Amino acid sequence: MLDVLIIGAGPAGLYAADQLSAAGYSVTIVDQMPSPARKFLMAGRGGLNLTHSEDVKTFLGRYRDAAPFLAPLIECFPPDALTAWCHELGQTTFVGSSGRVFPTSMKASPLLRALLRRLQTNGVELLTRHRFAGLSSSGRALVQSGDEDPHPMPARALLLALGGASWPKLGSTAKWVPNLKERGVGITPFQPANCGFHISWSPYLKERFAGHPLKRVELRMGDKSRFGEAIVSEKGLEGGAVYALSADIREIINTAGSARLVIDLRPAMDAGAIAEKLSRPRAKQSLSTFLKKSLKVTPLEMALLRETGPLPESPAGLASLVKSVPITCTAPYSIDRAISSAGGIALAELTPDLMLEKLPGVFAAGEMLDWEAPTGGYLLQACFATSHCAVQGIKRYLEQKAV
Residue 387 and residue 385: Cα distance in Å, rounded? 5
Q: What is the mean pLDDT of the chain?
A: 95
Residue type for position 342: A
- Find residue 12's DSSP bridge partners: none
Residue 3 and residue 157: Cα distance in Å, rounded? 6
Task: Check: CB of residue 185 under 8 Å from CB of residue 52.
Answer: no
Task: Check: CB of residue 247 under 8 Å from CB of residue 372.
Answer: yes
Residue 372 pLDDT > 70? yes
Residue 202 pLDDT > 90? yes
Question: What are residue 346's phi and psi, to 5 degrees?
Answer: -60, 135
Task: Check: CB of residue 82 under 8 Å from CB of residue 51.
Answer: yes
Residue 218 is inside which H or E element, if any? strand 213-221
Q: Is 29 helix (H, G, I), strand (E, B) or coil?
A: strand
Beta-strand relationship, 93-95 and 340-345: unpaired
Mean pLDDT of 324-329: 98
Q: How many CA atoms lie within 13 A of 146 on its CB side?
A: 2
Neighbour-count burial for 134-161, b at 16+ CB within 10 Å, e otherwise: bbeeeebbbbbbeeeeeeebebbbbbbb
Q: Is 160 helix (H, G, I), strand (E, B) or coil?
A: strand
Give the pLDDT confidence of 235-275 residue by residue, as tens digits: 999 999 999 999 999 999 999 999 999 999 999 999 999 99
List, as one string, the DSSP characters of 251-267. HHHHHHS-EEEEEES-T
Residue type for position 367: E
Mean pLDDT of 18-40: 97
Give the pLDDT confidence of 99-146 residue by residue, as tens digits: 999 999 999 999 999 999 999 999 999 999 999 999 988 888 999 998
What is the DSSP code (8-state) at residue 14?
H
What is the DSSP code (8-state) at residue 140?
P
What are the residue boundaries of the structural domains of the chain, listed by start? 2-192+341-402, 197-332
Angle between helices 299-307 and 287-295 (to 10 degrees): 120
The CATH code of domain 2-192+341-402 reads: 3.50.50.60
pLDDT of residue 45: 77
Task: Check: CB of residue 264 under 8 Å from CB of residue 396.
Answer: no
Mean pLDDT of 348-356: 98
Task: Check: CB of residue 343 under 8 Å from CB of residue 165.
Answer: yes
Residue 396 pLDDT > 70? yes
Mean pLDDT of 301-317: 94
Angle between helices 378-402 and 79-88 (to 10 degrees): 80
The answer, as to whether pTM is greater than 0.75, is yes
Residue 94 pLDDT > 80? yes
Residue 402 pLDDT > 80? no
